[in-house]
């Protein structure tokens, strides 16, 4: 009995050992995804090796770009800030497989650090880190069974943008995104333009995106004598001028209108000068307030016409104030103009030009009548009276009628009015010239509406 029991224990132990060897030492079957990943990304795959397309032809890398939004366009810093989605597509023959051998898997998702990715960056970036693929750990690639690799990443870009502000605020600007490849062109990579899109829902408050175009260029590095592939994306922006029209141009036009209307205040009125001073102070304060709104530039070819209009308006209003002071000073002077040439200039020529011809003719009539009344002097100094006898010592009726309305003592007052009218016409011409510096406001508003 003891021997039989020992025999059964030995048999049971041998069976247990055999079962354990057959089950415990055998690994479970891997999933198709795990097997596919280990077969593709094995020891033979080198992430630093650029995929070959046969021969010495460069690898085509297609770049698609979707402009999500334009956050800011800074005229002072000459730059644009925006967000975009960049999709890069290329083909890697080392990453192909038969889907039937791996559970019909046709798409594989992997971290981009496990496969080769093109080295691209923003060539005109204002930030220190110009790489487009900044976080390889968080970026995934989508691999199809035919070897097509797709990489998509979101990018916040701050790029330089050369601007011409001459037509501000009715200007259009073209900002560039320069996508450059750090891989050599001859034997490595060529960037191919893809699809450009713009999300119309994310519209900036001050700009409209009109169009987007891109072109592939070849850049030669003179230092290294190598060629690199670049992709230039041109974004055309149009400024929305409504804010600047209603808060800058229209107020300045109204201040100019008040300055010109001050000419219709009588010359001798003390309110004329005080009105002009108030308008000049208003323009000065207005310039200080909008100093941060108008773009600042010292280039003559890029100086905004709106800024020229504002500066010229300030100078014109100061001139109106000075001309009013001069006219007021002349009007309070007494005396008459004795020289005949000056009387003809002021009372016949200039008075007619400024629509004061009637007053000028009356002034000329006073002088002529006075000369006729003085009579002709004979050789002995006696006066030869041109009037008939019986009227000696009396003023002829026609002379009396011409002398009564106008006196020679008021010559300077009429001269002041004539000079004041001349200044009025001069500033009207200046105002028309200033308006020609900017485009038609109402037509622009209608176009944008």
pLDDT at residue 195, as a whole number: 92
pLDDT at residue 168, as a whole number: 83
Contacts 24+ apart (CB under 8 A), 391-400: 398/369, 399/369, 399/370, 399/372, 399/373
pLDDT at residue 213, as a whole number: 92
Q: Which of 336, 345, 394, 396 is nearest to 372 (CA)?
A: 396
Contacts for 115 with CB less than 8 Å, ≥ 6 apart: 41, 45, 47, 92, 95, 141, 143, 149
pLDDT at residue 216, as a whole number: 86
Parallel, antiparallel or unpaired: strands 189-198 and 140-144: unpaired
Residue whose structure tokens are 């006219």: 327
φ and ψ of 119, to 5 deg:
-90, 100
Tokens of 337: 């103009």
What is the widest separation between alpha-carbon atoms in the chain? 192
pLDDT at residue 306, as a whole number: 79
Task: Give the model confidence (pLDDT) of 168-223 as tens digits.
Answer: 888 889 999 999 888 766 557 889 999 998 886 667 778 889 999 988 888 877 66
Tokens of 404: 């009564």
Q: Three-class SS of residue 406?
A: coil
Dihedral angle, C-alpha 13, 16, 21, 23, nearest 10 °:
180
Half-sphere exposure (CA, 13 Å, Cβ side) for 347? 26
Residue whose structure tokens are 């055309």: 236
Taking each helix axis as running N to C, give the angle between helix 411-435 and helix 357-374, from 0 to 180 degrees, rounded to the nearest 10: 150
Indicate the burial class of 3 (C-beta count within 10 angstroms; 0-12, 13-18, 19 or more): exposed
Task: Give the model confidence (pLDDT) of 386-425 as tens digits.
Answer: 444 444 444 444 444 444 444 445 688 888 888 888 989 9
Distances (CA, A) of 245 to 176, 240, 250, 252, 255: 28, 10, 6, 10, 14
- 3-state SS of 103-134 is CCCCEEEEEHHHCCCCCEEECCECCCCCECCC
pLDDT category, 6, cuts 50, 70, 90? Answer: low
Expressed in percent and rounded to 5, the helix, strand and coil fractions of the chain are 40, 25, 30
Task: Give the model confidence (pLDDT) of 288-333 as tens digits.
Answer: 877 777 777 777 677 787 788 888 888 888 888 888 888 888 888 8
pLDDT at residue 63, as a whole number: 93
What DSSP element (H or E) covers 446? Answer: helix 441-448
The chain-wide mean pLDDT, for the chain, equals 78
Tokens of 328: 């007021």
Instruction: Considering only residues 21 and 42, tell me which one the structure prediction assigns the higher pLDDT.
Output: 42
pLDDT category, 248, cuts 50, 70, 90? Answer: confident
Check if the beta carbon of residue 251 is closer than 8 Å to that of residue 315.
no
Give yes or no for residue 133 having a pLDDT over 50.
yes
Instruction: Considering only residues 360 and 325, tell me which one the structure prediction assigns the higher pLDDT.
Output: 325
Distance from C-alpha of 74 to C-alpha of 24, rounded to nearest angstrom? 69
């Amino acid at each position: 009995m003891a021997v039989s029991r020992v025999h059964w224990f030995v048999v049971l132990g041998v069976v247990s050992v055999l079962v354990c060897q057959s089950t415990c030492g055998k690994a479970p079957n891997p999933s198709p995804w795990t097997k596919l990943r280990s077969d593709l990304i094995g020891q033979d795959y080198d992430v630093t090796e650029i995929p070959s397309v046969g021969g010495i032809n460069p690898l085509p890398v297609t770049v698609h770009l979707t402009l999500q939004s334009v956050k800011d366009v800074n005229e002072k810093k000459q730059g644009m800030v925006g967000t975009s989605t960049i999709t890069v597509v290329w083909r890697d023959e080392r990453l192909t497989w038969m889907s039937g051998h791996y559970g019909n898997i046709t798409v594989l998702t992997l971290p981009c650090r496990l496969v080769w990715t093109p080295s691209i960056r923003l060539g005109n970036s204002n930030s220190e880190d110009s790489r487009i693929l900044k976080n390889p750990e968080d970026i995934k690639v989508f691999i199809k069974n035919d070897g097509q690799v797709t990489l998509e990443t979101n990018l916040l870009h701050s790029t330089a943008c050369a601007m011409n502000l001459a037509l501000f605020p009715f200007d259009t600007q073209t900002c560039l995104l320069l996508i450059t490849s750090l891989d050599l062109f001859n034997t490595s990579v060529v960037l191919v333009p893809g699809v450009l899109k713009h999300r119309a829902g994310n519209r900036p408050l001050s700009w409209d995106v009109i169009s987007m175009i891109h072109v592939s260029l070849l850049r030669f590095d003179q230092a290294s004598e190598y060629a690199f592939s670049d992709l230039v994306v041109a974004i055309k922006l149009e400024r929305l001028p409504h804010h600047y029209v209603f808060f800058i141009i229209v107020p300045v036009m109204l201040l100019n209108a008040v300055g010109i209307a001050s000419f219709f205040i009588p010359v001798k009125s003390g309110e004329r000068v005080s009105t002009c001073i108030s308008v000049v102070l208003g323009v000065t304060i207005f310039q200080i307030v909008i100093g941060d709104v108008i773009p600042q530039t010292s280039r003559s070819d890029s100086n905004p016409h709106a800024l020229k209009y504002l500066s010229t308006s300030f100078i014109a209003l100061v001139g109106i104030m000075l001309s009013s002071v001069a006219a007021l000073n002349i009007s309070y002077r007494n005396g008459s103009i004795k020289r005949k040439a000056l009387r003809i200039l002021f009372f016949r020529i200039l008075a007619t030009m400024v629509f004061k011809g009637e007053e000028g003719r009356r002034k000329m009539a006073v002088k002529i009548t006075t000369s006729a009344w003085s009579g002709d002097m004979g050789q002995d100094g006696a006066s030869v009276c041109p009037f008939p006898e019986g009227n000696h010592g009396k003023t002829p009726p026609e002379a009396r009628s011409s002398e009564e309305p106008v006196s020679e003592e008021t010559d300077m007052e009429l001269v002041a009015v004539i000079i004041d009218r001349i200044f009025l016409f001069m500033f009207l011409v200046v105002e028309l010239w200033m308006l020609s510096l900017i485009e038609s406001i109402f037509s622009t508003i209608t176009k944008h509406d």
